[in-house]
Amino acid sequence: MRIEVSPGVPEALAVVTVLFGSTNVSVVSRLLEWFSTQPDVFQAAILGLYPQDIKDELPRMVLERLRDEKPKSKSGSPKAA
């Protein structure tokens, strides 16, 4: 897999890996695992998919959306009634 990063990211990643005694691969892998488990509204916000004109309203909108979602059990299936 190839990834594209902004200028300065490799240096910042190097600092993190030294700080925690990790490798670049393990840090990036864990970040991707975390990202893939986040709700779609968080993923879209992180990816910058929302228009700039709602930037100030975005945190409230995301929190309201998450509050309105039904919680799932740890197994990922809906809770039994």
pLDDT(67) > 90: no
Residue identified by tokens 């979602």 is: 69
pLDDT(7) > 50: yes
Q: How confident is the model at residue 64 (pLDDT cuts 50, 70, 90)?
A: confident
Instruction: Return all residues near 70 (Cβ < 8 A) that are at least 6 apart.
Output: 78
* Range with the poorest average pLDDT among 12-16, 37-41, 61-65, 75-79: 75-79
Question: Do residues 42 and 63 lie in contact, with contact meaning Cβ atoms separated by under 8 Å?
Answer: no
CA atoms within 13 A on the CB side of 79: 6
